[in-house]
């Protein structure tokens, strides 16, 4: 996505924010093109909210630059910046009606009354609340409040809308629904969205581009598919999606891949990934997605695969289409998460039953271990 | 005994202390006062029902003018207290965090550990002719002779505002504390400036605190006796002083009781119209 000729609606250059000795945001650069749905995904405390607040103007960077429509906004106060923010708890004004909330920014801009009324009416129509203008905020449901909070910003036609985990307070069902809704609203208003979240599924479902953030730095920026299938770092591999992990030492490197002996003694063949080239004796982390592992009741079916394990079924974690089987490795006692095929062919598996697992070398990604805890999915 | 009767009995016993207090110390004395205020002495130990004591208030300009003066001074004192307390409360509630916040809040409370009488004498020590300020001004060469700063309306006002501060700061800090920072930020984010955010977001949110603080301060000031009498001196007219005079100096309990009820009625009327003007209800602000 970093085509230098491209113009960005919103851009951060070498952004740094320090609080005393603590560096919350450490040299972060990125650009968000016009109309993009850009997410910053990271565990809590990684500095993503700090970035958003600096873009909105509530916080000042220690170093670096923020550009909106190619203009530096470092010295522009929040009420003059052409970006608007949807707050985590929405921050709708409870003493005003729905229509007054939406009109708030327009009134501050000093637009004529009839124009404000017109814009509010059309905004209410677009968020499917055409008759709710006179209602008080407390009469709305959680999802409706959400839409009002977004409409309140979008009537101002900002260069970008900044969203600070606005779905966090909703229950699961509504959250799933709002994901789709948000995406639709973005298409309808054709506005650039910058969305921060710690929930990987929100980021993957809605975004065109996702930046994965950890400890103040961006680990990787890419499309959801790139992050999922081609993680650049161990952190991304561990944080985005679920994975089975092994920690081990490289025993042999050849042109196709590496042979690794894990700390509990399993021999694994894997493909090197990440920036650091792997050498013999290097400590590595290996990641294998649950859906890459083939589950079989007889050993012949997986005989063609590079990695094979004999196991016994510990339990089935039934969850509809996302059902998993928990398998214990007979040799080491380690446990693996395996996705069950949706055909229902393994629905009769019994606890303790002998099963065979296999996966290809290309499905196992080996990253040089960095020593820190590589972001077990939250 | 069935359950319902038992519930009623326990409710009765729980309510009993409150009822004794209410009836014995508030309702009975007030009923008696009302009866006293509604009689007129026609001869020795002979009383007749009459509104003459109430009529006296309206016929004698001194009385109703004293009341009007008291009411106006109290309103001004309430407004000044609000103006001074609001920024203080906002600073304590929204700008400070942790220990400093608790400390500053405590500083507002500390003066109230001393009796009002002692505090008022404190002001007198500072402001009298031979007092601290007077000597300081002379020493600095800003005054030629002793300066008397007691016994005028400005001094009364200072004393009243000082006495009332806490009763404004506490409800304001409580309501402002519950204002989410994000609300203020959202106000700015959507293009508001300091003034419009204050007017459209902070003040409407703080309205219940403002109103309840104003009611408490107004009633306390109107019914204050010590501060206006000590700081205002003998010639200063304050309505509670008039009531005191009727009861104690002139031994005219009938007139004193009538004034007491007029104070109650008129001040309630002022509070009620204040609520109407600010479109607030008592249940909303007190609830």
CATH of the domain at B214: 1.10.3720.10
- HSE of A120 in the Cβ direction (CA atoms, 13 Å)? 22
Give the ranges where B110-252 is alpha helix by DSSP (H): 116-127, 132-140, 153-177, 181-189, 194-197, 203-222, 226-232, 239-244
Using the 8-state DSSP alphabet, how is residue A275 labeled? S
**Quick check: is B73 in a domain?**
yes
Please check whether residue B29 lies inside any domain of the structure.
no
If pLDDT is split at 50, 70 and 90, which confidence band does B287 have?
Answer: low
The answer to whether the CB atoms of B204 and A84 lie below 8 A apart is: no
Give contacts of B190 with chain A, Cβ < 8 Å: 79, 84, 104-105, 108, 152-153, 156
Tokens 């839409």 correspond to what residue?
Answer: A147
CATH superfamily, domain at A8-234: P-loop containing nucleotide triphosphate hydrolases (3.40.50.300)
Mutation choice for B interface testing from A52, A54, A78, A149 by most B CBs within 10 A: A78
Contact A156 B190 (CB under 8 A): yes
Instruction: Quote the pLDDT of residue A1.
Output: 44
Instruction: Answer whether residue B10 is part of any domain.
Output: no
Compute the mean pLDDT over every residue in chain A, rounded to the nearest whole number: 88
pTM: 0.80
Contact residues on chain B for A56, CB-CB shorter than 8 A: 185, 189
B201 located within any domain: yes
pLDDT of residue B1: 57
**Residue of B201 and A368 predicted with greater confidence:** B201
Of A49, A100, A59, the closest CA to residue B200 belongs to A100
Q: Residue B113: what pLDDT? A: 86
- List, for residues B31-72, the tens digit of each pLDDT value: 999 999 998 888 888 888 888 889 888 998 989 999 999 999
pLDDT value at residue A371? 58
Residues in chain A with CB shorter than 8 Å from the CB of B200 are 93, 96, 104
Please judge whether B190 and A88 are an interchain contact, meaning their C-beta atoms are less than 8 angstroms apart. Answer: no
Residue B19 lies in a domain: no
pLDDT at A142: 87
Phi, psi for residue B100 in degrees, rounded to 5? -60, -35
User: Is pLDDT above 80 for B15?
Assistant: yes
Spans of chain A, pLDDT less than 70: 1-6, 371-378
Domain total in chain B: 1
Structure tokens at B246: 């009727």
Inside any domain, residue B39? no
Residue-level pLDDT at B184: 94
Closest chain B residue to A154 measured between Cα atoms? B190
User: Measured between alpha carbons, how far is B169 from B165 in angstroms, rounded to an integer?
Assistant: 6
Give the structural domain span for B112. Answer: 52-286
Tell me, yes or no, whether B265 lies in a domain.
Answer: yes
Class of domain A242-368: mainly beta
Please give the angle made by the CA atoms of A174, A291 and A38, to the nearest 5 degrees: 45
CA atoms of B13 and A80, how far apart (whole Å): 63
Give the per-residue pLDDT at B198.
94
What are the domain boundaries of chain A? Answer: 8-234, 242-368
Query: B7 lies in a domain?
Result: no
> Could you report the per-residue pLDDT of A330-370, keeping only the tens digit for each?
888 888 888 888 777 777 788 888 889 999 888 899 998 87
Closest CA to B186 of A102, A12, A185: A102
Query: Touching check for B188 and chain A: CB below 8 Å?
Result: yes
Report pLDDT digits (tens) over B156-191.
Answer: 999 999 989 989 999 999 999 999 999 999 999 999
């Amino acid at each position: 996505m970093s085509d230098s000729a491209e113009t960005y609606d919103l851009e951060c250059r070498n952004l740094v924010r320090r609080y005393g000795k603590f560096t919350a945001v450490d040299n972060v650069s990125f650009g968000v093109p016009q109309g993009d749905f850009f997410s910053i995904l990271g565990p809590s405390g990684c500095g993503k909210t700090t970035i958003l607040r600096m873009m909105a103007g509530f916080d000042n960077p220690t170093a670096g630059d923020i550009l909106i429509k190619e203009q530096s906004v470092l010295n522009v106060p929040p009420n003059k910046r052409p970006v608007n923010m949807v707050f985590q708890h929405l921050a709708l004004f409870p003493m005003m009606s729905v229509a007054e909330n939406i009109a708030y920014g327009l009134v501050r801009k000093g637009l004529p009354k009839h124009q404000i009324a017109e814009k509010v009416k059309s905004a209410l129509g677009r968020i499917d609340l055409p008759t709710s203008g006179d209602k008080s905020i407390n009469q709305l449901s959680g999802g409706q409040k959400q839409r009002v909070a977004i409409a309140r910003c979008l009537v101002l036609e900002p260069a970008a809308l900044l969203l600070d985990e606005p779905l966090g307070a909703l229950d699961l069902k509504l959250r799933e629904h709002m994901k789709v809704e948000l995406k639709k609203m973005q298409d309808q208003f054709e506005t650039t969205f910058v969305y921060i979240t710690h929930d990987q599924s929100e980021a993957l479902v809605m975004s065109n581009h996702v930046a994965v953030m950890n400890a103040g730095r961006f680990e990787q920026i890419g499309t959801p598919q790139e992050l999922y299938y081609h993680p650049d770092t161990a952190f991304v591999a561990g944080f985005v999606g679920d994975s089975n992990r092994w920690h081990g030492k490289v025993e042999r490197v050849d042109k196709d891949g590496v042979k690794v002996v894990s700390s509990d003694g399993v021999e694994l063949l894997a493909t090197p990934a990440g920036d650091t080239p792997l050498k013999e004796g290097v400590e590595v982390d290996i990641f294998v997605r649950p859906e890459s592992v083939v589950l079989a009741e007889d050993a012949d079916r997986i005989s063609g695969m590079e990695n094979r394990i004999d196991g016994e079924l510990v339990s089935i974690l039934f969850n509809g289409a996302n059902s998993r089987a928990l398998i214990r490795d007979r040799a080491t006692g380690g446990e693996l998460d395996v996705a069950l095929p949706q055909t229902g062919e393994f629905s009769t598996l019994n606890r303790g039953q002998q099963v065979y697992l296999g996966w290809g070398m290309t499905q196992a990604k080996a990253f040089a271990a960095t020593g820190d805890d590589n972001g077990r999915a939250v | 005994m069935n359950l319902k009767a038992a519930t009623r009995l326990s409710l009765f016993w729980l309510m009993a202390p409150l009822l004794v207090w209410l009836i014995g110390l508030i309702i009975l004395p007030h009923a008696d006062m009302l009866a006293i205020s509604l009689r007129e002495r026609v001869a020795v130990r002979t009383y007749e029902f009459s509104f003459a004591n109430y009529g006296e208030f309206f016929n004698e300009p001194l009385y109703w003018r004293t009341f009007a003066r008291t009411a106006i001074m109290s309103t001004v004192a309430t407004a000044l207290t609000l103006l001074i307390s609001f920024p203080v409360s906002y600073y304590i509630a929204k700008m400070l965090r942790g220990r400093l916040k608790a400390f500053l809040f405590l500083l507002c409370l500390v003066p109230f550990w001393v009796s009002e009488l002692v505090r008022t004498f404190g002001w007198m020590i500072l402001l009298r002719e031979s007092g601290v300020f007077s000597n300081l001004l002379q020493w600095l060469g800003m005054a030629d002779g002793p300066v008397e700063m007691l016994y005028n309306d400005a001094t009364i006002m200072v004393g009243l505002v000082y006495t009332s501060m806490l009763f404004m700061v506490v409800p304001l800090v409580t309501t402002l504390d519950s204002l989410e920072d994000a609300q203020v930020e959202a106000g700015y984010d959507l293009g508001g400036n300091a003034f419009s955010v204050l007017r459209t977001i902070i003040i409407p949110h703080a309205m219940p605190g403002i109103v309840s603080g104003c009611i408490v301060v107004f009633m306390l000031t109107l019914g204050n006796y010590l501060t206006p009498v000590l700081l205002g001196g003998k010639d200063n007219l304050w309505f509670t002083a008039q009531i005191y005079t009727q009861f104690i100096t002139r031994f005219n309990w009938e007139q004193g009781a009538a004034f007491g009820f007029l104070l109650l009625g008129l001040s309630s009327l002022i509070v009620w119209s204040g609520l109407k003007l600010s479109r607030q209800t008592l249940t909303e602000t007190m609830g």
